[in-house]
Amino acid sequence: METLEQLIREECEQSPSRMIPFARFMEQALYHPRYGYYTANRPKVGKKGDFYTSASVHPVFAETIADAIVSMIEVLKPVQPTIVEIGGGTGYLMKHLLTRIRNIQPELFAKLGVIVIEASPYHRALQQEAFGHMTNQIEWYDSLAEAARERTVEGVIFSNEWLDAFPVHIVEQGKDGLAEIGVRWDEQAAVFAECVLPALTPQVSRFLAKEKLALATSMRAEICLGMHDAVRDVSSLLARGAVITIDYGDRQELLHHPVRNRGTLMCYHQHHAHDDPFRAVGEQDMTAHVNFSLLEKWGEEAGLSTAWYGRQDDFLIKSGILQRLVEHQDRDPFTSVAMKVNRAIQQLILPGGMGGVFKVLMQTKDAPEELTAHLQRKDARF
């Protein structure tokens, strides 16, 4: 029977060097049309999956983002307000976001256009089930490029933990320069193994000719080339409005700090985090921190303006999440709805947890400065 491991192994063996770039291995492991992690019919998020997201913690995350989006749309005043989610996953985030908008702004909800970018039939089915009667209001596209070719929108485009799952090239600084990491099949051990490619791939060479990486000897870094085309497509799709990107990541100088000398690649399988990409190929998630410095730069080159960058806790607090704390006398954590809400808010904004790990980038296009005025306040965080 054909397997993903067999397909990748054959690709390695058919290469003149019997190696493939790590980015190609990651692409196949995550996105192979039949066997890739994200395309396979299996749960990824939540108790039955491999990891939790901020959206899966509690609806209050989506509801806070909904409040921020409503405020931005009120400033924009578009003729046809539209919300776009890239990589909708289970549909949980968009479901609760739309429910919140329907409850607080029914007139806006009635005329709201909704687009979800989702290539996976499995995830589309989950989204349709989650949206229920709201499904008729939603358009799906397989890719950003497809959506951008067919239309433009005025409103807000957002993503949550999307870019961190893009395939990455890995380079390592040697005494004689940068080398690119590859993957080969170890016949004797019958496993995939890391190797060094004979030369940098052409696309990495072109990147390095423009973007100089200052790495210490033996230090590694990931290069997410797919992010360049993604941000270009986002800008093409957006005629006027804002882009909200929430993800693991940091500025380039922090990503390339000696404390991260082996890079940021991580794998997640059944809620166990580790750094072995060759374990359970096609059955585990793989992520790398987003380089927000490059995302800003490439966005500006594509016509987007950087409006705000900061931590998730700061973004949520300035968007009003603390106003959703509930006073209560109930001490039972298993039955108290109020305690569950408050505990979720704490989890989302704790600096040492999700609040500090995730970053938020706000980019705008042809939009007034007051669109992000609430994020510019210098008030106390707590």
**Segment 210-248, tens digit of pLDDT:** 998 889 999 999 999 999 999 999 999 999 999 999 999
Task: Please tell me the distance from the alpha carbon of residue 184 to that of residue 172, in angstroms, as a whole number.
Answer: 17
Identify whether 96 is part of a domain.
yes
Mean pLDDT over 369-373 rounds to: 88
Q: How many domains does the chain have?
A: 1
Residues 6+ apart with CB under 8 A from 181: 21, 22, 169, 170, 171, 172, 194, 195, 196, 197, 220
Identify whether 174 is part of a domain.
no
Task: Please tell me the distance from the alpha carbon of residue 281 to that of residue 274, in angstroms, as a whole number.
Answer: 13
Mean pLDDT over 55-68 rounds to: 83
Mean pLDDT over 341-370 rounds to: 80
Identify whether 182 is part of a domain.
no
Residue 164: per-residue pLDDT: 96
Identify whether 236 is part of a domain.
yes
Residue 367, domain CATH = 3.40.50.12710
Residue 165: per-residue pLDDT: 95
Q: Is the pLDDT of residue 337 over 90?
A: no
Q: Is the pLDDT of residue 338 over 70?
A: no
Eight-class DSSP state of 305: E
Residue 382: per-residue pLDDT: 40
Contacts 24+ apart (CB under 8 A), 252-257: 252/291, 252/292, 252/293, 252/294, 253/293, 255/221, 255/289, 255/291, 256/213, 256/214, 256/215, 256/219, 256/221
Task: Please tell me the distance from the alpha carbon of residue 151 to that of residue 238, in angstroms, as a whole number.
Answer: 9
Identify whether 365 is part of a domain.
yes
Give the pLDDT confidence of 76-115 residue by residue, as tens digits.
Answer: 999 999 999 999 889 999 999 999 999 999 999 999 999 9
Q: What's the pTM? A: 0.91
Identify whether 213 is part of a domain.
no
Task: Please tell me the distance from the alpha carbon of residue 83 to that of residue 283, in angstroms, as a whole number.
Answer: 32
Domain that holds residue 142: 37-167+226-376
Residue 239: per-residue pLDDT: 98
Q: Is the pLDDT of residue 334 over 70?
A: no
Buried b (16+ CB within 10 A) or exposed e, 180-219: bbbbbbeeeeeebeebebeebbeebeebbeeeeeebeeeb
Give the pLDDT confidence of 302-329 residue by residue, as tens digits.
Answer: 999 999 999 998 899 898 877 766 655 4
Strand partners, 246: 160, 360
- State the Cα angle at 98 between 135 and 337, rounded to 5°: 120
Q: How confident is the model at residue 150 (pLDDT cuts 50, 70, 90)?
A: very high
Tell me the pLDDT of the chain averaged across its residues.
90
Tokens 């959206």 -> residue = 55
Residue closest to 57 by CA, chosen among 340, 363, 374, 379? 340
Q: Is the pLDDT of residue 253 over 90?
A: yes
For residues 134 and 88, the answer to whether their CB atoms sit within 8 Å is no
Give the pLDDT confidence of 289-299 residue by residue, as tens digits.
Answer: 999 999 999 99
Identify whether 155 is part of a domain.
yes
Identify whether 23 is part of a domain.
no
Q: Is the pLDDT of residue 381 over 80?
A: no
